[in-house]
Amino acid sequence: MLMGDVAIKAMNYIWKRQTDKNVIPSGSTYKLRKEKFFIDNKRVFPSYLQTGGNYLIEKSKRVMIAEDLKEAFEIIRR
């Protein structure tokens, strides 16, 4: 899971140096998290950072993070 913009940018930076393309396209996280992205047949999840003022204020972000974690755990169990 890529938790936050910095993690997404770091993954794109690393991957772009190897393949000349981004793993995660530019855009809003809430839109991107509905799509599936893969690196070497491994799922990559763009999600939100679990800290900060917005996390405490915005209930919708907490719900989205919980959904992302649930999906990641389901993949791990397979």
pLDDT digits (tens, 9 = 90+) for 5-64: 899 999 999 999 999 999 999 888 888 888 999 988 889 989 988 777 767 778 888 898
Which residue range(s) make up the domain with 73?
A: 2-77
Q: Give me the torsion for CA of 17, 9, 27, 23, rounded to 10°.
A: 40
Number of domains in the chain: 1
pLDDT of residue 30: 85
Greatest Cα pair distance, the chain, in angstroms, is 38
- The label of the residue with tokens 């999840």 reads 45
pLDDT of residue 53: 73
pLDDT of residue 9: 94
pTM exceeds 0.75 for this model: yes
